[in-house]
A and B are shown apart, each in its own frame.
Chain A
Amino acid sequence: MAESELKTIARDGLWTNNVGLVQLLGLCPLLAITSSLVNAIGLGLATTFTLVVSSVTISLIRKLVRPEVRIPVFVVVIASTVTVVQLVMNAYFHELYKILGIFIALIVTNCAIIGRAEAFASKQPVLPAFIDALTMGVGFTLVLMALGGMREIIGQGTLFANAHLMFGEAARDLGVTILADYRGFLIAILPPGAFIGLGLLIALKNIIDGRLQARPRKIEEPEAAPASQPV
């Protein structure tokens, strides 16, 4: 597999076809859990891990699995992975697990995971499937973090509060109060704030895409002409 193809896969996952901003999959956890940065990181990492494990497994067994039963097999793989993640989080990140609660179990229903399994991993060798899952997961995590950070600052005036739930006692001081004596802006913490925030992020991505599109065209056009000649 050529390196450039892997790069395209990576760019797709992180940006062009981002799970949160473009595919708009996994909205339920995306909107519900992003009231703070630490929650966002916790759920993002758990989702990424599940995505990587399930995609690699599904890619490995893709020739064995008959098309008639592929969906049940995917479901079994994903559900087992999520249950294992859930148990391990409960054992090692107990407090964070209590906050994220049902949303860890609900990773099973995150359409992004079965979507990648069906659309990509079941048709590709292990390496591209791995890169695809990893970048899709990281892309999703970054959106969660952007939204979580934004809502935490606007809603509570803090950033990285409760970091010790995730990174242990040493990280307790990571939390910073950005706006001292801030009374809080409730709507940012409540579900409407999640919708508004996500809308703003999507708009921002569209603006950046618009700028990017306007720029490289001038460079690409002269290049495109010679490329067509040898064909």
Chain B
Amino acid sequence: MRYRTVLFTGILLSLFTVIGATLVAYTFENTKARIAANERASLLRNLHVLLPPDSHTNDLFRDVIEVQDPTLLGSRDPVQVYRARRNGEPVALVMTPEAPDGYSGAIRLLVGIDPEGTLIGVRVLSHRETPGLGDAIEAERSDWILDFDGRSLGNPPADQWRVRRDGGVFDQFSGATVTPRAVVNAVRKSLIYFERHRDELFEPLESDAEEEVEEHG
């Protein structure tokens, strides 16, 4: 007698699990495309700040490679590099390195660099810095991050690629030195990475290279 109760209860529980899972699967299937489109649009909005749509002729989402360098790019995971080209000629690239030493966790950055190694700009993708102090790294909150525009490894000289408190040229915020220090370091290291790997970074993807030939032929 008792085992029938147990069996019934077990079947009932599995039934509910199956119904729940079906519902979730159904919703997942029906929202999948929209969620992917949202994420793409959201990333594209960020990329377009540094690479305006009319600055390049290629598809940023297809011309992307992944690189890995925990020391210079701050993340153990692969870091995406989006390359912008105009008729096949490299215009700039945008890397997504992390500043691992933010005040509360990693700060994800977008670092745009042109083929000469000059910064076209830096933006913050995501961070968990203190609101009102560290969040001045966001372009919407202050102009601080615009100070990177046009900088390169030689400008300022290597020993000045620091916040003012450490003897460099970049401002810190009153009450928050850790955050700008982390960002300045991450940007400097990205430039070093770029300098060491410039050619590989702009190397066209194989499939794209073929397309390029067809276009010009």
Contact = CB atoms under 8 A, between A and B. Distances in A.
Contacts of A18: none
A72 B13 contact: yes
A190 B12 CA distance: 46
Given A184-B132, A186-B132, A84 B38 contact: no
B133 A186 contact: yes
Given A66-B9, A84-B27, 11 more contacts: A61-B16, A65-B12, A66-B8, A72-B13, A79-B20, A80-B20, A92-B34, A95-B42, A98-B42, A155-B132, A186-B131
B35 interface: yes
**Nearest 7 pairs of A and B residues by beta carbon:** A80-B20, A91-B31, A94-B38, A91-B34, A186-B132, A84-B27, A87-B31
The SS class assigned to the B binding surface is: helix
A73 interface: yes
Interface in A168-190: 184, 186, 189-190
Nearest to B19: A80
Given A76-B17, A80-B24, A90 B31 contact: yes
Interface residues of A, number: 28
A17 interface: no
Contacts of A214: none
Contacts, number: 65
Contacts of B21: 80
A123 to B, nearest CB: 18
Interface residues of B, number: 24
Nearest to A89: B31
A87 B35 contact: yes
A77 B27 CA distance: 15
Nearest to A79: B20
A61 B28 CA distance: 25
A80 B8 CA distance: 22
B132 A69 contact: no
A80 B20 CA distance: 5
